[in-house]
Amino acid sequence: MVGVGADLEPGTLLRAYRTGVFPMPAGRGTLAWWAPDPRGILPLDNLRVSRSLRRSCRRYTVTLDVDFEAVIDACSDLRRRGAWIDEPIRSAYLRLHELGWAHSVEAWDAEGVLAGGLYGVAIGGLFAGESMFHHQTDASKVALVGLVDLLVEAGCCLLDVQWATDHLKSLGVVEVPRRVYLEKLKDAISRPQPAIFGG
């Protein structure tokens, strides 16, 4: 944790991401700002897709920004273990989405039901992942595979996942020192905004 307080206005949030900081509540009613050291990132050439995950990819259709609100609502479901997205956070990212900075990736099953997804913030060559969810087996992983494909195609260079959990490490996430992360971040945000993210 590197700070407490401030606001969640779009300019505040974008400035935070550009300096390697992101918001997350720390206890009820307390807005905190975080910059983990080490930082979890997923090198775009290091995604590990198992044989079973490849099979799962064929079961879902992946889309970009089709239903951002449904994705963030699923991610903020209080029944989820470790749920942390409160109403101020939800409202702030809905606003960022309206402005073209926050984006969702959805995984839909064969019946057109939202099975999983993720959302985050895109600035230049950076995609800062915020949260992901699944209602069906492997659906969030499939959304991640879809995101990586989109980022590679768009010429992005940095996928930030904040912390490297064991689950994320199994998919290829690695930890880098803050100094290294900030170097990568400086390069990423200096790049043009990709067309798929409104550039």
Question: Residue by residue, what is the 3-state secondary structure of 110-171?
Answer: CCCCEEEEEEEEEECCEEEEEEEEECCCCHHHHHHHHHHHHHHHHCCCEEEEECCCHHHHCC
pLDDT on residue 11: 98
Average pLDDT, integer, range 49-78: 96
Instruction: Note the pTM of the prediction, 2 decimals.
Output: 0.96
CATH architecture of 38-197: 3-Layer(aba) Sandwich (3.40)
Residue 159 pLDDT > 80: yes
| Amino acid type, 110 | A
- Residue 50: which pLDDT band, with cuts at 50, 70 and 90? very high
| Bigger pLDDT: 198 vs 184 | 184
Residue 133 pLDDT > 90: yes
Strand partners, 138: none
> Residue 23 is inside which H or E element, if any?
strand 22-25
The dihedrals phi and psi of 108, each to the nearest 5 degrees, come to: -110, 140
Average pLDDT, integer, range 22-31: 88
pLDDT on residue 26: 86
